Structure 1
Amino acid sequence: MGGLGVRDIQLFNVALLAKQAWRIVTAPNCLLSRVLLGRYCQNISFVDVLPTSNASHGWRSVLKGRDLLITQLGKAVGDGNSTRVWKDRWILSNNTGTPVGPPKEMDRDLMVSDLLTRGTNEWNVAKIKDLFPSLASCIKSIIPSLLRAPDEFIWIPNKDGRYTTKSGYTSAVKYNSLLENGGSPLPVLEWSKKVWASQCLPEIKLFMWKLMQGALPLGANLEKRGCGSTYGFDPDQFSSLSEALLSGMRTICLPPTGVSQPIFPWICWCLWTSRNKLIFENKVLSSSEVLSLSITSAREWWLAQPTAMKAPRQPNLIIPTLNAEVNCVSVFTDAAWRASDGATGCGWIFKDSTRQSTQHGSKCFDNTASALTGEALAICLVLSHALSLGYTRVCVFSDCQVLVRAICSKSSPVELYGLVCDIELLSSLFDYCTLSFISRSLNLEADLLAKSALYNAALTT
């Protein structure tokens, strides 16, 4: 509330209750879920059930959290057997998450598995183009589980698809403000990042918070309190101060000003002090003088800060290592992604314990959503290839640190759900299997194979 970190206790309580609803949705076999679902959801799903007249207070509270949960509840496609095409939000790249338009009578109960080819579990492109021609590219960019992992509920606001009380409370606040404003969304202002974490004086941070909350004696605020008719915010470019702040924080101060941080808070502060000098001291400052004073004040404050504050933060890098177990095959993999058409080239190379190449290959894919998806495709492909070659002990190396961390931490992005499920299942079929990160300089051979595959695919098309 207001950027001070004070929460709306009622909305926060609903966000906590949604945690219990999330537990029932994602773990229906636990004892609590079995008791509640057996008592209240015998003939209907938990997502669609309504409170009965004889429901307990605890169950009504859980449904209150459920109502918040379903506002941002989606499905990650695995085998597609439990995802409804027209009712579940499974096309995450689309605004609505589901196809728009009245379905035909015969397609009303269509499941996502009906859009997949039997046997291969790949998309039936002809059927997709026939039913959803405008969404064909979005649907094809979703990669289902080729090994038929089950579909999974996801919480859309979080990248890993897991519900947290923090994200639930944020969604509750947004949804509540949307209802209060008649369905028109307000600009979202992240106070901790845009105001309290800005590089400026503490008094300027407090000033900016007061400015956004309407706590300063400005003309529009005085008019609301019946203190005279004056001009309010000029809506020529922005409709509100919050929108102006969001735009100003993205503005880069170019050389030779000597300031690398956004100076929008300093400009607002100097405008405020200049206004006070005009009213109380009858001293007039021109616009150029106000701007010059803002830049000078920001530069002086920045130069006075400790050197440690100005030093760029060093990322926590994993030290690359090529140490593999004895009698273990080393597999180097990489992917090259082209953003214009979503094409991805995957390359891999197998090496024995003496670092001699034994196998190598490459393959190209279409309609890949991101470079991260391409890297996951490459790992999934090499694991399947290693099994077909009869290897039982493999050490996989990739130069995509984000993907390696996501797979090892069991917290992968939603877009990789099907691929990560296949990678986990394939890795379990080996006697020994590890996944490690190496630098790009140690993975040049696989990188060259991936780029060659992408280049050759472009020539053939």
Structure 2
Amino acid sequence: MALLAKQMWRLLHHPTSLLAWVLKGRYFRHISPMEVKTSNSPSYGWRSILAHKTFSAKIIDQSSKQWRVEVLEALIDLGDVQLIQSLRPSDNFRDDGYCWIHTKSGMYIVKSGYKLAMQLKEEKVKTAVTEPCINPLQAMIWKLQAPRKLKHFLWQALTGCMVTCGRLANRHCGTDRSCPRFGDFEESINHLMFLCPPALQTWALSDIPTSPGSFPRDSLFENFDYLLLRAKENGTPQNLIARLPWIAWFIWKARNDKVFNGNDIIPPDTVLDATREEENWRVAQVLPGNEVTGRNLDLITDILENESPLPRCLVDASWVTNSTDSGGGFVFDLVSGTHMYGSFGMDQVLSPLHAEFTILVLAMKSSLQLGFTSMSFQTDCLQLVKLINDEEDWRALASEWNEFIHLLSSFTVFSISFIARECNVRADLLAKEAHLQNSIFSHVNSDIPG
């Protein structure tokens, strides 16, 4: 810009130069180059010079040799304008010319032009209303441990490239803006992914912590910022954050299943499918000959070590501070290949360990009632496993311990072992769903509770 302004300055002060004669004959034959607004088929060089010409204001009408009062009033204090008007331009001034006020000499130099341009740029940045920069979030999406298809999907959601009813209406590809799953709201990307009631419940059922005011919010960028950055800073384990791509993807699939097939996918199934797919993908990354490290090794070890010829029962509890109740769930995987599901809404107990022990006792009772005296119980509560296997003395669990010992005497074969949370998704979902009911109930059946 500073160099182009130098070219304009040369045209103004050296009108007899070869360049000035050539450009004058082509673009400003009867006027000053500063007065040119448009040209017919201009060259790239001339367009560039015009695009960066500096502001000028002629204060003398050259034909009448009179002051241009409207220009004076725009530039100078009104009291001074009256004094200037008392003087005749023809008596005291030569022909109106150009002066560069940012140097003492009044002559334009590139250094002063560059300095002014930088000052104007900084002032524009300070006063401009800037939108949030999503580049860091985009970079984090590509670093996620997930299939490229899922990372590309998240990138599309973040950058506003997803097809929603609202966006289709904006592009005149339809008139219905309403959400196909919950028609009272316009379907935006943020609504589809986070605020639609089925999506909202899906995030609540996942292990990623949600809380009013922090997540989810009305801003798509804030929601992605929370999932990709803030959740980890707030102490959410990395293995839970890793499920983000699959949860978002299956929310999108559930929406499309409703739009194109008319099927209603309930949030617990969405979470279950997302978690199962994430687990399968993790396991598939550990191939013969590949390096096996970290969480993948732990997951494979848990799966292999927990294979048992006995029927097994997966148990889990849901306990929240300051809540009036808690929930529990268990799943019987029987040798015949059938399943039994248990879901319990319970009064609030003292601690998460109390809730885990209580649901274990209820699962033992159900096992005996169903006629299974040999059972392998599995839980993701390591503290409960240590408590039972090491027979630690917990006075706070005295009543639960006595009932446990009484039921234990009725089993011919009993074992309890620890499994990773990734392998206990079904019981976990049953427990959370039971807690959300806010009531005392029990359900043991081969059908998944509604």
Same fold (TM over 0.5): no
In the superposition, the TM-score normalised over structure 2's length comes to 0.30
Structure with max Cα Rg = 2
In the superposition, the TM-score normalised over structure 1's length comes to 0.29
Higher relative contact order structure (alpha carbons within 8 Å, sequence separation ≥ 6): 1
